[in-house]
Every structure is written in structure tokens, then in C-alpha cells.
Structure 1
Amino acid sequence: MTPGDVTIVPANEASWDDLVAIFGTADYPGRCQCQRFKAPGWIWRDSTQEQRTAMLRTQTACGEPGAATSGLVAYVDGEPAGWVAVEPRTAYPKLRGSRVPWTGRTEDKDDDSVWAVTCFAVRKGFRGRGLTYPLARATIGFARERGARALEAYPMITRPGKEITWGELHVGARQVFADAGFEEVGHPTPRRVVMRVELSTVD
């Protein structure tokens, strides 16, 4: 996949039908609707599919250019193909109680100038083609244009021959963020790292 094949826009400039096509109705993205770090309580116990879908629709503000939105949508040759969630870190209440972002670091949990990339979804038929790479790169400009001073991600370490299910890898792979210019600033679990880019230093 070359850069010329991919167009990435804020979700509020995409249609809701395009986002529905990306998430589908089954598989992990279709069930979660990018609410793992948003939904109160235990996502599968304390929210319904309909509630999660409604939450995503409100958060993305699809079809409402100029409204606040919660991520980016990628098109490949004009077809809706991928999604990445990127917002102020404070927009994800589940991050506050997770040890992943905070282990070994002194961070102000209420600092909304630090943004976070929390979720990728790639439409069936477009997976395995490297679409998360341009999506990760696009989060940098998107966050910086909206006043972020730093951007974080919490990806997984992938190893050859070691299978990781799509549900686990929705946070992205370490190499995807390293390729985009993020640097590792924490390693809170054997398979999870914290990657960060200081936006004032990025051209």
C-alpha cells in the first residue's frame, strides 16, 4: 500500500455509513465499537451493543464538519477502510485506572494537553496491508493542530511466530508507532509498552 492509495480525514468529515462499514457488525471492532477505554464499568457486562454504537456515533460526530471528533477515518482507493481513535488522554476514563500509562512515570492524569491513540479498526478485506502505519502517522498532525503538546500510545510487542488476536492488537503494534516517530518511554507489562512523541519537536 502506497501513500497515494490512502486518504485520511477526521471522522466528522466522513459519513456514519462509512464508519459502520469499517467496524462491521461482528468481530472485535463491531462488538466493542471503540468503547473499551470509554464505557463505564466492565464493557461487556455494563453496556449493550446498542449503547456502544450510540456512544461511538456521538463521539465521532460523523457528517458534522467543524464539530469535535474522536478519531480519523482512512479510505483506500475511495473505499472506507480504517479507523484510529485519538483524543486528549483525559477523554479515556479507563486509562486513569489502568497501570499501563502510569507505571514508572510521574504524570498528571488531568493534563488534557497530552493526547492518546487508543484503538485501530481495519475493515475486513483491507487487513494485512499496513494500513495502521499511515493512520498512526496521521494522528500526529491531527493532535498537534488541536493543541496537543504530546501524544501517547500503548501498543503491543509482536514477535515472529507468536499469534496475537485482532482483539488484543486493537491498540496497535510497537513497530507501527516507532515507524511514525514515537519513542518508548515505558514498559509496564511484558507485552505492552508506552510510546510517546513530543509534538513541539516534530516537523
Structure 2
Amino acid sequence: MTITVRPVDESSFADVQAVFGDRGQAARCQCQGYRLNWYAQRSDDVEGRREMLRDQVAEGLGLIAHLDGEPVGWCAMAPRTDYAYLRQTTWKGRSEDRSDDSIWAVTCFVTRPGYRRQGVSTALAAATPGHARDRGARAVEAYPMRPAPGKEVTWGELHVGALSAFLAAGYRIVHEPSLRRAVVRYEW
């Protein structure tokens, strides 16, 4: 079985929705959690969030993974300035310019049920630097979880990815806001 990863475009939206499914947190959030304020994130306007995602997919803001032609994974990424909520939650102890739109952010991974633990998010993480660079970024960062040794982390918490996947892709740790979270960056 071969995992292929490519940037999304207008024709990819149906594949992204196949990965999200029609129930659960991914279907409800539509990868808008870090773009919206707290109240908008929790509203019942799923269709509004889906339309926002449709526009982002059409703009090429993300990656889609296929396993033998079947859509199995999604990765949200865009200029860091697109994520208002993100810039509030990961900034403690950082002095960097929050408004620098040449830094891209990887915020979310979704792997379709039945395809988890097969390397989908690792393949997506490995493709993020090239995609950001091709879109004009000077660096890309992510905010993965660092699971404690021997501890299981639920899928919901790992929507940001695992630290090991980013380190394997060549990212380096630039900030550690908590014991369980790291900020990693890839620069060229």
C-alpha cells in the first residue's frame, strides 16, 4: 500500500469531506477551531464552517493523503496570521512577531477511521515544509502533542499531530509551552 500526499484544490473538497465523515468532532469542526473565536467554534453552524473550509481548500490551504487511491487523511495549514485563536493559545513566553504572515502554521490532522496507525499523519507532516515553501512561506511551524512514555493519547488530543512525526520530518523544537505540547519549526 502506498500513501500519496498532494496539495488540495477545488476538486479535492469531496475527498476532504470523505476523510471527515458525517459525525464526530472533525465533521463538526471542519478544521475551523483555530480560525474562530471560542463561541463561533462551538456554534451549531456546521454548514457555515463547511463553506469556510470549502474556500480554504479551493485556495490550496491544506494537504490530502490517499492510500491506494482512497482519501484517508487531511492536514490543515495556512499562513499563521489566518489563525486568530492559535495566536492566542501558543504564545506564552514567545517574543516573536505574531503578525508575520511569512510563517505558516500546521494546525490539524484528520485520519479517516479504519486507516489510523498506518503512517498517514506522518506522511502528511513530512509533506508540510515543501507545501509551505512552494506557497511562499519562509518557515512553517506546528504545535504537536508530546505523549508521556507509555501513555495513550486520545485521537481528539492528537488532532495537532505527534511530536515524533514532526521531528522525523526535520522540524526542530523552538518553544515548550507545557509538558505535553511543543512548538516546532522548519526553516529553509
Deviation at 1:96, TM superposition (A): 2.2
SS at match of 1:128: coil
TM-score (norm 1): 0.87
4+ residue runs of structure 1 moved beyond 6 angstroms? none
Structure 1 unmatched runs, 5+: 62-67
Report what 1:166 is aligned to.
Answer: 155
Report what 2:178 is aligned to.
Answer: 189
Match of 2:54 among 57, 63, 75: 57
Report what 1:71 is aligned to.
Answer: 62
Distance 1:45 1:155 in 2: 22
Aligned residue type for 1:82: G
Structure 2 unmatched runs, 5+: none
Distance 1:25 1:43 in 2: 20
Are the equivalent residues in 1 in contact too, given 2:148–2:180 (CA < 8 A)?
Answer: no
Match of 1:95 among 71, 74, 86: 86
Deviation at 1:47, TM superposition (A): 5.0
Distance 1:169 1:18 in 2: 21
Report what 2:112 is aligned to.
Answer: 123
Question: Structure 1 residues 13, 45: closer, same or farther in 2, change over 3 A?
Answer: closer
Aligned residue type for 1:7: T
- 5 Å-filtered alignment, 1:132-151, equals 132-151=121-140
Distance 1:69 1:48 in 2: 23
Deviation at 1:35, TM superposition (A): 0.9
Distance 1:18 1:184 in 2: 32
Q: Can you list the C-alpha shifts for 1:64-116, whole angstroms capped at 9, x where unaligned?
A: xxxx2210101110000101011110011112222x2x232211111000111
TM-score (norm 2): 0.93
Percent of paired sites with the same residue: 51
Report what 1:153 is aligned to.
Answer: 142
Q: CA-atom RMSD, angstroms?
A: 1.5
- 5 Å-filtered alignment, 1:36-55, equals 36-55=33-52
Deviation at 1:163, TM superposition (A): 2.4
